Chains A and B, each alone.
Chain A
Amino acid sequence: MPMASATRDYRELRLEHMSRSFGSVNALRDVTLDVRRGEFIALLGPSGCGKSTALNCLAGLLTLTGGSIWLDETRIDRLKPEERGFGMVFQNYALFPHMSARKNVAFGLTMQGRDRAESERKVDEALAIVRLGEQAEKLPGQLSGGQQQRVAIARAIVIEPPLVLMDEPLSNLDAKLRLEMRAEIRRIHEVIGSTTIYVTHDQEEALSLADRIVVMRDGEVRQVGTPEQLYASPAHADVADFMGYRNIVRTRAQGNGNSFRVLIGGASIGGTPIGAGAEGPAVAAIRPDDLVPAADGPIAVTVESAQYHGSEFYCSGRAADGTDLYFQSEPRVAKGDSVRLSVDPGRVLVYPDADQ
């Protein structure tokens, strides 16, 4: 296939103002992103945010209604999926049910017209990479979910695609297998050095797998950054919400600079302004693990519920002004207890509230 070989050696994948609408609904708006070859990118967002649409546009399964996609200087958004030669792992694996695992993996090579010996060797390699040797002659229906997943990955990587696309590949697996396969996916990525775009709604998955995370919402990119950047300083309140800042409190900001403060649960506490940092309506975001009980803590809450999670309790409490706050406590607390909470001002992220 001339196309696949022409695009295999490239330096970067560029999405320029990529848009897709369905009728009057804009599923994808003006997505612009540069991906270096070999990068692992996670598209993260809640369902309906456009991340799967973006992936299908990249695969060529959906046409763009605006913008373009480039591999270096080659424009590829008008190519059919079979001309792009990208490997895709589908959410339901989409294994061909009438072919053995081996034939599934060999399918792409057969379509490229590779000779038999070469094809056999590459299939064996791919099956070895995903650690699926003995099961190769079985039909997909005879394989477990995790094994089907491995076949799907082997099938996508065996054609040595310039880009591997994964659409929530772990969402159909149980919790234990999901952790195992997550590690496997990262390992396989490192073994074959492929460029990978990985769609997920699970922030933990994105944080642990990706080199860079693209947080999407309502069809738009809200923030692009390394896991550390996103975790420590989300640029928007909704990104914070998605990165595990469970306490999103609508409040007011006062003062500026060192005396910048916000009202949380009736108490005025120090905070870190993100963006404008002006006085007025604001949204404060705090992670539950940053909000901890302390004898002299400024925020007083009554415990509403406490769940035991091994090393600590995941708790929710209500402040005097009715604000619900999630926090974590190492000492045992129980419903109805009065607790005082304290938080490092550096971990109280304050965003200007556009909606108030």
Chain B
Amino acid sequence: MTGGERLPLRQWLALRGLDGVTLLVLPAALFIVLLFVYPFLYGFVLSFQPKAGDFIANYTKFFSDPFLYDTIGATMRLALPATLINVLLSIPVALRVRRMRRRRLLTTLLVVPITLGTVLIAEGLLNYLGPRGWLNHVLLLFGLTDGPVRLVHNYTGVMLSLILSGFPFTFLLTLSYITGIDPSLEQAAATLGAKPRSRFRHILLPLLAQGLAINFCLSFVQTFSVFPSAVLLGAPAGATRVISIAAYQAAYEQYDYSMASAIAMIMGFVQLLVVTLVLAGRSLVYRGAAGAGKG
């Protein structure tokens, strides 16, 4: 190509990856602007227009009222362990399922809870674990406890529900990351004398770390916005008064949309903080492909 010659605009754009097909992105972009960016900015602005007081009155109120700011801690106490348990639990299960012949059937079974939705899971847990549920019936029948064991309408109930409803998602992600690791890498490690434990520690785990971090973030964000199970299975006025309940009450019990928006903003910020921290920690681990070089 000679230096002075100019390409036609169409070709110039095509070289930069812009052509007719690129336009197909527009509907999705529009969708995001309308359903995410606009409501977010609207809520952001709204949160600085409180019913009374100066423009940060909502935030001052939130961080001066323990009934409100404690919700962050309550949510964290649920979301962090639940996410961690799910991510850690998904590794051995995915490792096992990967080698199974009826992998599809098993995967389907494990994924069913996603399709049920939190409310149905909550109802099931109430029936099964409640004071008059099967579990307590059995325990009492065999005289294993004096009174019914309290497993719902408290922290435990919400935690169980979060693990049940969150696991399939976490598991599917972990499974896809694990199956993305070339099996010949483990075979190579084995021929070099590495026992299963070493193969996991030196080969699988480092290659998986990146995926697990992303998995943790996605699962955490899901768990952090827990609402139905915290209300149905928890103690919405006590131990499981999570931040989304506070936002709900501000919006639909006190009709203070400005305050509700402020709480939503705080919620978003906390999530962002955790995700940023986890992803920053990712820089410590290998982030390239999990393949075996040129194959």
Contacts and interface: CB of A to CB of B under 8 A. Distances in A.
B190 A92 contact: no
A260 B184 CA distance: 53
A111 interface: yes
Nearest to A107: B192
A221 interface: no
B292 to A, nearest CB: 5
Contacts of A148: 293-294
B193 A108 contact: yes
A95 interface: yes
A96 B203 contact: yes
A245 interface: no
Contact of A90 (B184, B198, B203): B184
Nearest to B194: A111
Interface in B172-186: 182, 184-185
Tier of interface size on chain B? 20 to 34
Contacts of B291: 97
Given A94-B185, A172-B294, A80 B289 contact: no
A140 B286 CA distance: 13
A111 B293 contact: no
Nearest to A161: B191
A97 B191 contact: no
B293 A141 contact: yes
A95 B292 contact: yes
Nearest to A145: B294
A172 B292 CA distance: 12
B295 interface: yes
Interface residues of A, number: 36
A69 to B, nearest CB: 15
Given A94-B185, A98-B206, A98-B207, A86 B191 contact: yes
B190 A61 contact: yes
Contacts of A172: 294-295
A90 B193 contact: no
Nearest to B295: A92
A181 interface: no
Contact of B191 (A1, A88, A93, A112): A88
B61 to A, nearest CB: 49
Contact of A80 (B182, B190, B198, B293): B190
Contact of A92 (B184, B194, B198, B290): B184
A94 B292 contact: yes
A139 B295 contact: no
Interface of A: 1, 4, 59-61, 80-82, 84-88, 90, 92-98, 107-108, 111-112, 139-141, 143, 145, 148, 155-156, 159, 165, 172
Interface of B: 182, 184-185, 187-195, 198, 202-203, 206-207, 286, 288-295
